[in-house]
């Protein structure tokens, strides 16, 4: 199979890796680049576990061809913590017990961070809308919504 | 065509553990030379908090800080035997096994400390902050780290403990059918309100009020987390999820998340939770398990609320719009038993 070099930015750092022909962005990030935070849930765009940002917009990595991200800025949950300091959203997820098995958590965090970057004061309805593409099997969603709202209202730490 | 509101109630007893050839869990506890402890279990933490709770139980029993305990799980090749994380048994079975293992290790730790302090081990107490001292004389003290190092490097003593908790198999009495498969139950009561649409057949849960009796809540935030998530699963089982919508006919079974529907973050009902704490006699520090029974009361409560709302008794889950519409047609329309509000 043909391989093609792809230059892109991952969480602010320039990166380059070979993409297999037809490889999707999820496999490319996990196998080719080694960022394991995007999760493989369904592989067909219905669960949201692989949510990443491409040039600031949330995308389902399993539905994006890796070759198409040439020159793009990719954001994953691995980029949320900087220099050992967690993003306030990550702190809020801990404070609100917003994870159990944790499989949906990276995708949830990416969706929530994208929402707050675009809309720092979302309503509950806007939070619900923002995570409506991310399935969670454990929490019943309420702790996740509460965690995101707590950051939105500027009180990340209880 | 109208929306109909109804209210339904259900109460359940749910057994902890199971009765398949006996129900054992084992734990091994040992100290490292730095005075910190490792608990080895073969049970798995699936996110329900089993590692957190067994860590608390071990620290409490050993008399050491929580930070000094590490729980190592889920390698059934190298760990002690366990039946597994299911049947709502984790807190109760593994917690009890950890208590027994930690008690044995604590005894050796106190003997090691006693030898260093030249006192009787029976006179020693722990302060839970990493110190062991003579009862009533806090100045006659040694740290758990110093005791562990003395055991390792001077005394040649292993600070370790083994624990097993076993509920033996209960055989069925062939004459009476009597058996005692369960030693403890958790309990729950649930009141739900639903709104049913007699045009579309859709049923929405609009409010949940619950009371759960879980023994002592060893970790209240984890208990609430289980109850909140579990009740959502119950709501999902009641009105959404099925792999075989026309069972036993396998037709139209969902094969992906497009067809296998679940309530999303926009379909939640407010859930008001009360936790009743009645410490279980044979539970670790009184704990039982909220595991599965957090989901169970929701299903009958929803079915009862649908009956209240439109007079339709649905006896196959989930309560899908199709079943509601077919049932309403058969009975000549919605027949609310009692209008809510």
Whether residue A7 is found in the same domain as residue A65? yes
Which of A53, A79, A105 is the endpoint of a domain? A79
pLDDT at A153 > cutoff 80:
no
Would you state the pLDDT for residue A29? 98
What are the backbone dihedrals phi and psi of residue B213, each rounded to the nearest 5 degrees, phi first? Answer: -110, 110
Whether residue A50 contacts residue A118, with contact meaning beta carbons closer than 8 Å, is answered with no
Q: Which domains does chain B show, CATH number per domain?
A: 3-15+184-331 (3.30.365.10), 23-166 (3.30.365.10)
B318 cis-preceded (ω within 30 degrees of 0): yes
Mapping DSSP onto H, E and C, the string for A94-147 reads: HHCCCCCCCCCHHHHHHHHHHHHHHCCCCCHHHHHHHCCCCCCCCCCCHHHHHH
pLDDT at B55 > cutoff 70:
yes
> What confidence tens digit (pLDDT) does each residue in A113-123 have?
999 999 999 99
Q: Does residue A104 form part of some domain?
A: yes
Q: Which of A128, A135, A143 sits opposite B228 (nearest CB)?
A: A143
Q: Does B258 touch chain A (CB under 8 A)?
A: yes
Q: How far is CA B98 from the centre of its chain?
A: 16
Q: Does residue A112 form part of some domain?
A: yes
Q: Which of A135, A137, A141 sits opposite B268 (nearest CB)?
A: A141
Whether residue A75 is found in the same domain as residue A93? no
Rounded Cα distance, B226 and B49, in Å: 9
Whether residue A63 is found in the same domain as residue A10? yes
Whether residue A68 is found in the same domain as residue A100? no
Structural domain including A26 reads 3-79
Rounded Cα distance, B136 and B119, in Å: 13
Would you state the pLDDT for residue B340? 53
Mutant choice from B219, B228, B265 vs A, greatest count of A C-beta within 10 A: B265
The domain that contains A95 carries what CATH number?
A: 1.10.150.120
* Mean pLDDT in residue range A12-19: 96
Instruction: From chain A, pick out residues whose CB is under 8 angstroms from the CB of B46.
Output: 100-101
Q: How confident is the model at residue A156 (pLDDT cuts 50, 70, 90)?
A: very low
Q: Does residue A158 form part of some domain?
A: no
Q: Does residue A157 form part of some domain?
A: no
Sign of CA dihedral B286, B292, B294, B300: negative
Whether residue B144 contacts residue B68, with contact meaning beta carbons closer than 8 Å, is answered with yes
Contact residues for B28 (Cβ-Cβ < 8 A; gap 6+): B39, B40, B79, B80, B101, B160, B161, B162, B163
Whether residue A96 is found in the same domain as residue A70? no
Instruction: From chain A, pick out residues whose CB is under 8 angstroms from the CB of B210.
Output: none
Which of A79, A105, A129 is the endpoint of a domain? A79
Q: Which residue of B has its CA nearest to A105?
A: B47
- B232 and A140 within 8 Å at the Cβ level: the answer is yes
Whether residue A26 is found in the same domain as residue A43? yes
- B228 and A99 within 8 Å at the Cβ level: the answer is no
- B46 and A46 within 8 Å at the Cβ level: the answer is no
Whether residue A27 is found in the same domain as residue A53? yes
> What confidence tens digit (pLDDT) does each residue in B263-292 have?
999 999 999 999 999 999 999 999 998 888
> What confidence tens digit (pLDDT) does each residue in B164-194 have?
999 999 999 999 999 988 889 999 999 999 9
Residue A94 region by backbone torsions, left for phi larger than 0, else alpha for psi between -120 and 50, else beta? alpha
Of A12, A14, A114, A110, the closest CA to residue A61 belongs to: A110
| Strand locations in B168-267 (E) | 185-197, 203-213
The whole-chain average pLDDT of chain B stands at: 94
Whether residue A8 is found in the same domain as residue A72? yes
- B229 and A128 within 8 Å at the Cβ level: the answer is no
Which of A50, A79, A108 is the endpoint of a domain? A79
What is the count of structural domains for chain A?
2
Whether residue A7 is found in the same domain as residue A53? yes
Whether residue A13 is found in the same domain as residue A73? yes
> What confidence tens digit (pLDDT) does each residue in B111-158 have?
999 999 999 999 999 999 999 999 999 999 999 999 999 999 999 999
Whether residue A23 is found in the same domain as residue A72? yes
Q: Does A131 touch chain B (CB under 8 A)?
A: yes
Centre a 10 Å sphere on the Cβ of residue B87 and count the other Cβ atoms it contains: 20
Whether residue A39 is found in the same domain as residue A75? yes
Q: Does B229 touch chain A (CB under 8 A)?
A: yes
Of A123, A6, A94, A106, the closest CA to residue A58 belongs to: A106
Separation in Å, CA of A94 to nearest CA in chain B: 11
């Amino acid at each position: 199979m043909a391989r093609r070099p792809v230059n892109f930015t991952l969480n602010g750092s320039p990166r380059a890796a070979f993409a297999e022909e037809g490889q999707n962005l999820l496999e490319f990030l996990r196998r080719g680049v080694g960022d394991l935070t995007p999760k493989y849930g369904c592989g067909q765009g219905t669960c949201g576990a692989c949510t990443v940002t491409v040039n600031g917009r949330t995308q389902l990595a399993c539905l994006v061809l890796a070759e198409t991200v040439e020159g793009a800025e990719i954001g994953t949950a691995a980029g949320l913590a900087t220099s050992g300091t967690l993003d306030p959203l990550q702190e809020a997820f801990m404070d609100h017990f917003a994870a159990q098995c944790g499989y949906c958590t990276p995708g949830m965090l990416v969706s929530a961070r994208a929402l707050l970057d675009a809309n720092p004061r979302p309503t509950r309805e806007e939070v619900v809308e923002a995570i409506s593409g991310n399935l969670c099997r454990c929490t019943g969603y309420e702790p996740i919504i509460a965690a995101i709202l707590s950051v939105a209202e500027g009180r990340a730490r209880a | 065509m109208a929306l109909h509101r109804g209210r339904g109630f259900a109460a359940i007893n749910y057994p902890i553990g199971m009765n398949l050839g006996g129900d054992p869990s084992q734990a091994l506890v040992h100290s490292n030379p730095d005075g910190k402890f490792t608990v080895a279990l073969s049970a798995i933490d699936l996110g329900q908090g089993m590692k957190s709770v067994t860590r608390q139980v071990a620290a409490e029993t050993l008399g050491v800080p929580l930070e000094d305990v590490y729980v190592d799980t889920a390698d059934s090749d190298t760990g002690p035997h366990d039946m597994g994380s299911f049947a709502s048994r984790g807190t109760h079975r593994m917690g009890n096994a950890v208590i027994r293992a930690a008690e044995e290790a604590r005894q050796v730790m106190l003997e090691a400390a006693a030898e260093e302090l030249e006192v009787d081990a029976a006179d020693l107490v722990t302060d839970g902050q990493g110190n062991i001292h003579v009862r009533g004389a806090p100045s006659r003290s040694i740290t758990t780290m110093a005791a562990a190092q003395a055991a390792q490097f001077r005394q040649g003593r292993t600070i370790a403990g083994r624990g097993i908790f076993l509920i033996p198999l209960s055989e069925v009495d062939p004459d009476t059918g009597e058996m005692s498969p369960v030693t403890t139950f958790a309990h729950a009561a649930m009141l739900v309100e639903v709104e049913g649409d007699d045009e579309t057949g859709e049923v929405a849960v609009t409010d949940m009020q619950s009371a759960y009796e879980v023994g002592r809540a060893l970790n209240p935030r984890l208990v609430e987390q289980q109850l909140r998530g579990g009740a959502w699963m119950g709501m999902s089982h009641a009105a959404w999820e099925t792999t075989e919508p026309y069972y036993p006919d396998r037709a139209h079974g969902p094969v992906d998340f497009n067809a296998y529907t679940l309530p999303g973050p926009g379909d939640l009902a407010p859930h008001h939770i009360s936790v009743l704490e009645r410490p279980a006699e044979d539970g670790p520090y009184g704990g039982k398990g909220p595991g599965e029974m957090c989901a169970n009361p929701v299903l009958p409560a929803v079915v009862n609320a649908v009956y209240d709302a439109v007079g339709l008794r649905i006896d196959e889950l989930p309560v899908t719009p199709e079943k509601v519409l077919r049932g309403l047609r058969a009975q000549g329309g919605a027949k609310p038993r009692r209008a809510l509000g």
